[in-house]
Amino acid sequence: MKKSSGSYHFSGLLIVTILCGLVYATVQQSHRSSANDPQIQIALDLKYAIENNRSTSSLMTPDSIEISQSLSVFKVIYDKSGRPIESTGFLSGQMPKMPKGVLEYTNSHQEDVLTWQPQRGIRMATVVEAINSPQIGFVAVGRSLDEVEKRVSNLTTMVAVAWLVCAGIIILHFLVSYFSYNKSN
């Protein structure tokens, strides 16, 4: 076996590692960022309706959901001070309260797209919009990340298995090459 053979195998392993990492990062980001799509549209629709003095009744359905148990999209309207005044979703029977820092950021940037964890084990893909209205300050629209996190977990397993298989093939090839060369000399 040539002395450079080990460096070729190491280079191959490095390339496989980089490609597996790239596949993981690309697909994971696609899963996570697409989790915001419905919320962005609904938040902008609510913002438009409120700022143009239109009815929000078609967007703020009267039914309520427990956001810790549901995959449904929920919507919350907050006053200027950040107190919830209307919500389609509840957390432990209360209207969800957005952290003050999120509302401060949204106030200065007009929008915040974030992963919100209101309680341990509950993660939400959330969009918050600042509202230009005398009484209403913000709207927040969110939904559970449970399904997205399951997909990311499956992705992690698939990429890890693919990397292990590729690394195994490279190491096996290295060992076969090494012992074949040593046996012939």
Q: In 88-145, which residue ranges form alpha helices assigned H by DSSP? A: 100-109
Which element (helix H / strand E) includes 47? Answer: helix 37-51
The structure's pTM equals: 0.79
Contact between residue 50 and residue 75 where contact means Cβ atoms under 8 Å apart: no
Query: For residue 92, is pLDDT > 80?
Result: yes
Supply the pLDDT for residue 169.
92
Q: Tell me which of 155 and 32 has the higher pLDDT.
A: 155
Q: Is 7 exposed, middle or buried (CB count within 10 Å of its CB: 0-12, 13-18, 19+)?
A: exposed
| Residue range 19-69, pLDDT digits in tens | 999 999 999 888 888 888 899 999 999 999 999 988 888 788 877 889 999
Supply the pLDDT for residue 53.
87
Say which CATH superfamily domain 36-144 falls into: PAS domain (3.30.450.20)
Instruction: Supply 16's token pair.
Output: 């496989």
Residue 4: pLDDT band (50, 70, 90) is low
Q: Which amino acid is at 156?
A: T
**Strands 122-130, 111-119: parallel, antiparallel or unpaired by DSSP?**
antiparallel
Dihedral of the alpha carbons of 169, 170, 175, 176, in degrees to the nearest 10: 60
| Residue range 108-144, pLDDT digits in tens | 999 999 999 999 989 999 999 999 998 899 999 999 9
Mean pLDDT of the chain: 90
Which whole-number Å values give the CA distances from 153 to 50, 127, 183, in the listed order? Answer: 39, 23, 44
Query: For residue 1, is pLDDT > 70?
Result: no
Pick from 116, 127, 102, 112: nearest CA to 68:
116
